[in-house]
């Protein structure tokens, strides 16, 4: 094994650590999306706020891993003599010795699987949020009586005036 291959193998070991952290982060994100949907359905606002805070903290804690991955990619690109955008896990596997090649391939398969699940879970979460928004809008229209009535009217001077016949919720019993 020549010196350059040794350097690439060493950097790839660091890359494996970064990829393991990526896998943990994706698994945590999937868990958070599942919890988010559950809390939305149950309408547990305090728990939702706590979860959103935890998601923000996780994102902040994950940033150093992203920076480390970018740096490793740049270093590997310099050693391979190519553009950082051309350094992919598939290409890198061709440059590695067998134990690292297999380990990298396993992580690549796991990351692809998690990314596909994340895409699906994200779509489900977006659909749930849209339905919640639509339901809230419908409830507001039904309670405030704006459904089927025109919007604001205007005075001769151009000032907006709320609809005259708008039904307001009565607070009297």
Tens digits of pLDDT across the chain (173 residues): 555 566 676 777 888 999 999 999 999 999 999 998 888 888 888 998 999 999 999 999 999 999 999 998 898 888 888 888 888 888 888 878 888 889 999 999 999 999 999 999 999 889 988 988 888 888 887 777 654 455 666 777 777 776 555 455 555 55
* Predicted local confidence at residue 129, as pLDDT: 87
pTM: 0.71
User: Structurally, how many domains does the chain consist of?
Assistant: 1
Q: Is 26 part of a structural domain of the chain?
A: yes
Q: Is 75 part of a structural domain of the chain?
A: yes
- Give the integer Cα–Cα distance in Å for 170 and 89: 64
Domain of residue 81, residue span = 3-114
* Predicted local confidence at residue 148, as pLDDT: 47
Cβ–Cβ under 8 Å, residues 152 and 165: no
Q: Is 169 part of a structural domain of the chain?
A: no
Quote the distance between the C-alpha of residue 92 and its chain's center. Answer: 27
* Predicted local confidence at residue 80, as pLDDT: 82
Nearest to residue 75, comparing CAs of 7, 18, 19, 17? 7
Q: Is 24 part of a structural domain of the chain?
A: yes
Q: Is 35 part of a structural domain of the chain?
A: yes
Cβ–Cβ under 8 Å, residues 25 and 65: yes
CATH number for the domain including 106? 1.20.58
| Tokens matching residue 170 | 């009565």
Cβ–Cβ under 8 Å, residues 48 and 36: yes
Q: Is 140 part of a structural domain of the chain?
A: no
Q: Is 61 part of a structural domain of the chain?
A: yes
Q: Is 167 part of a structural domain of the chain?
A: no
């Amino acid at each position: 094994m020549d010196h350059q291959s040794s350097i690439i193998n060493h950097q790839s070991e660091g890359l494996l650590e970064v990829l393991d952290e990526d896998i943990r982060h994706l698994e945590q994100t999937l868990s958070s999306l599942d919890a988010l949907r559950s809390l939305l359905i149950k309408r547990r606002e305090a728990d939702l706020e706590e979860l959103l805070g935890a998601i923000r903290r996780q994102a902040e804690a994950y940033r150093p891993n992203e920076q480390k991955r970018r740096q490793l990619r740049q270093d590997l690109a310099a050693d391979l003599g190519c553009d950082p955008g051309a350094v992919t896990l598939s290409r890198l596997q061709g440059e590695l010795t067998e134990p690292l090649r297999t380990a990298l391939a396993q992580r690549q398969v796991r990351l692809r699987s998690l990314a596909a699940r994340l895409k699906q879970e994200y779509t489900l979460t977006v659909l749930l949020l849209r339905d919640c928004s639509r339901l809230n809008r419908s409830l507001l229209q039904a309670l405030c009586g704006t459904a089927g009535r025109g919007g604001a009217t205007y005075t001769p001077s151009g000032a907006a005036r709320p609809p005259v016949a708008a039904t307001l919720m009565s607070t009297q019993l």
